[in-house]
Amino acid sequence: MVIVATRSDPSCNYLTMPRRSAAQRYVASVTPSRRPARVGQVIGVRRLGGLALALAGLAGGYLLAPAVLPATLSGRVAASTASERDANGRRGAPALAGESVAPLDKAAAAAATPAAGLAKADVRAGLLSTKIVADGGGALAVVPGNVAGPGRGPVRSVRVEVESGLPVDGEAFAAFVMSTLNDPRSWGVNGRMTFSRTDGAAEIRVVLASPATVDRICAPVATKGVLSCGHDGVAALNFTRWVQGIKSYGGDWTAYRQYLVNHEVGHLLGYPHVECPGAGQRAPVMQQQTAQVAPCTPNAWPYPDGA
């Protein structure tokens, strides 16, 4: 059974905590206190009543919900009735305005080999090197292939992308992402859903990108080169976090990477942030563990007991 805190954390305000890491100082308000729209849809403007608020809005600009700006303000291209749909007939995740996405160069990927001495956990996660790339330029490559969802329940389609220039084996990274999402401890527990992979239109895009590119993808959410995000149908994973993890996981980079995938995809499935339920308890997967795990203990899974 999953451990879930009873209160959402819409403000992500850590000012009351005695100590804050660099990641905590950069925590952004990613989700509102209510459940967001369906995967691939943009959360609209918060309705505000009263003449005074209306006048303030006209005089001072737009009054928006704290998490995701509408497409007309954020520069995103929102999905429309004419948008591509995945194999299940669901609307695909929107693309960024001016975004460059191309198929992965399979020949170059096949020729790439992991650096000598790289840990097995790093190789399994798709890393060819642990060298940090601060800005990869923004060109994204789609990992080719179509893999059916292995479980029961509604099928959610996923497209995996890697920023060109990162030392990453796209196929291995995609396999890691999909094995995480289809693990019995993840969101598809007990046949609630299953995840398929496609290189075409998809509900969910999982993108591994450099910090600078993640900042651009996640805007207006302020990830500040430190955090990842999940909104508008895109789970954008920060490459530095993928390589270095966080200290709270005690060197278990596999578990942290599984947490990162589950947490950001969780946002796309409609789950907001929650708080640590109490000292010594397992952190809910929707807790902002990158910022702080304590006083909870690390946990990578929505349903860590598999039920």
Q: pLDDT tens, 277-293?
A: 999 999 999 999 999 99
State residue 290 phi and psi, 5-degree precision.
-60, -35
- Is residue 128 scored above 70 in pLDDT? yes
List the single range of 1-10, 107-116, 216-225 with lowest mean pLDDT: 1-10
Tell me the mean pLDDT in the region 101-113: 60
Tell me the mean pLDDT in the region 188-211: 97
- Is residue 73 scored above 50 in pLDDT? no
For the chain, what are the domain ranges? 22-268
- How far apart, in whole angstroms, are the C-alpha atoms of residue 103 and residue 70? 29
- How far apart, in whole angstroms, are the C-alpha atoms of residue 280 and residue 130? 32
- Is residue 192 scored above 70 in pLDDT? yes
Cβ–Cβ under 8 Å, residues 162 and 140: yes
Tell me the mean pLDDT in the region 6-17: 32
Angle at 116 between CA 110 and CA 117, to 5 degrees: 130
Quick check: bond before 70 cis, omega within 30? no
- The predicted pLDDT at position 282 comes to 98
Closest CA to 198 of 103, 96, 291, 121: 103
- The predicted pLDDT at position 38 comes to 34
Tell me the mean pLDDT in the region 251-262: 97
Residue 239, phi-psi category: left (phi > 0), alpha (psi -120 to 50), beta (remainder):
alpha
- How far apart, in whole angstroms, are the C-alpha atoms of residue 295 and residue 221? 26
Cβ–Cβ under 8 Å, residues 129 and 181: no
- The predicted pLDDT at position 86 comes to 62
Q: Is 251 exposed, middle or buried (0-12, 13-18, 19+ CB in 10 A)?
A: exposed
- Is residue 43 scored above 70 in pLDDT? no
Tell me the mean pLDDT in the region 172-179: 98
Mean pLDDT of the chain: 76
- How far apart, in whole angstroms, are the C-alpha atoms of residue 132 and residue 89? 38
- Is residue 11 scored above 90 in pLDDT? no
Q: What percent of the chain is modeled with pLDDT above 90?
A: 61
Tell me the mean pLDDT in the region 8-14: 32
- The predicted pLDDT at position 290 comes to 97
- Is residue 35 scored above 60 in pLDDT? no
- Is residue 46 scored above 60 in pLDDT? no
Give the up-direction half-sphere exposure of residue 36: CA atoms within 13 A in the CB hemisphere.
32
- Is residue 218 scored above 60 in pLDDT? yes
- The predicted pLDDT at position 36 comes to 35
- Is residue 146 scored above 60 in pLDDT? yes
Tell me the mean pLDDT in the region 148-156: 96
Exposure string over 283-298, b if 16+ CB within 10 A, otherwise e: bbbbbbbbbbbeebeb
